[in-house]
Amino acid sequence: ECSGSVFSGNDDLVSFFLPQMGMACTCGKISTGFVNPHEPTSLENVLRPWQVEFLNSFGIQRGEQLVKARHRSGAILARALKHWRKKHDMLYFKTSSCAMAIDIWAKTCKIFVRSIRRQVSAGQDFLES
């Protein structure tokens, strides 16, 4: 595990706000492998397992679905995330923090999906990058 992140030492905040992609890593140990290589835009390839589990409870399984859901009903997702975390005995965060986390996840997914689409349209194998 990387210890060179600017978020090191704040594991609860990292796990809550940031996706799993190693984007805050500065040590060079970024994982480029896909969890689900058969579905490159799957949330499993971007988010942490608990984040995926929460979103799956809404039927959200791909990055583009999260982007659309956040746009349509971000406030509902934020309130649901607050209650979901409480139900699963996870650290409490305010609804506004939940909304911010969902925004971060959705923006990350949007960038990730665009990147995958660009690679596919350029005829590049996304598994090579």
Q: Which two tokens stand for residue 65?
A: 């679905």
Q: Give the chain's radius of gyration (CA, Å).
A: 15
pTM: 0.77
pLDDT tens track for 53-111: 999 999 999 999 999 999 999 999 999 999 999 999 999 999 999 999 999 999 999 99
pLDDT at 30: 43
Residue 12 φ/ψ, nearest 5 degrees:
-65, -40
pLDDT at 127: 54
Tell me the mean pLDDT in the region 24-51.
72
Nearest to 102, CA basis, from 62, 74, 123: 74
